[in-house]
Amino acid sequence: MKSLRFIIPLALFLVVVGFLAVGLKLDPRAVPSPLINKPAPAFVLPRLDDAAKTMRRDDLLGKPWVLNVWASWCGPCRDEHPQVLALARGKHAPIIGLNYKDARDDARDWLRQLGDPYTASLSDSDGRTGINYGVYGVPETFVIDKNGVIRFKHVGPLTATVVQTRIVPLLKELNG
């Protein structure tokens, strides 16, 4: 009975340490998206390369695709760009760029300088499509299946690890 005096505080201490240890590894910016396993919101947006042409979400039905939200004013987009280029080289799926609240000329210059991994980039100049997709921190990346359902979302710059361990395997599964 006497030993309880030491065991109880020690157990409480270990529980607190456990919570803190887990808390340290959580990213408070990574907010769980309610859109996972929901249909991707519809859009009709002008293409960045030719504003006269539009693309709709339904044009992309039939095979899985990747939606990458980017902007020329966004520093982390520049950091992740090599990963997007690498993903495009793998030819797993079309990558559609959502050019979020950007100036058309700046965005085009940016792609010219850094390389264009996108099958098409779409101008979301007032950010409304971004809001429908729950975008809050550019860059963001979505994987959408052939039925138009969002299967995966990543907030923040893509890393080689995320691409290799999450996105590529998921695309292979969706294609298979």
Partner 1 sequence: MAKWWWFAGVLCLAATAGAKDAAPAAADPALEARMLQIAAELRCLVCQNQTIADSHAGLAEDLRRDIREQLASGASNEQVVQYMTDRYGDFIRYRPPLKGSTAALWVGPAVLLAGGLLVLVLVLRRRARLQPDRFEPDEGDDRDAGEDLGEPVARP
Residue 77 φ/ψ, nearest 5 degrees? -65, -35
Is there binding between residue 101 and partner 1 (CB under 8 A)? Answer: yes
User: Rounded to a whole number, what is the distance in angstroms from the first to the last CA of the chain?
Assistant: 61
Helix (H) or strand (E) holding 122: strand 120-124
- Identify which of residues 117 and 157 has a Cβ nearer to partner 1 in the complex: 157
- Identify which of residues 63 and 128 has a Cβ nearer to partner 1 in the complex: 128
Q: For the beta carbon of residue 175, count every other beta carbon within 10 angstroms.
A: 12
Q: Which of 36, 43, 38, 37 is nearest to 58 (CA)?
A: 43
- Identify which of residues 14 and 131 has a Cβ nearer to partner 1 in the complex: 131
Structure tokens that stand for 173 in this block? 């599964």
Q: Which of 61, 134, 151, 164 binds partner 1 (CB under 8 A)?
A: 134
- Identify which of residues 41 and 94 has a Cβ nearer to partner 1 in the complex: 41
With contacts defined by CB under 8 A, name the span among 32-40, 107-115, 141-149, 166-174 that binds partner 1: 32-40
- Interface residues with partner 1 (CB under 8 A) are 28-29, 31-35, 101, 126-128, 131-137
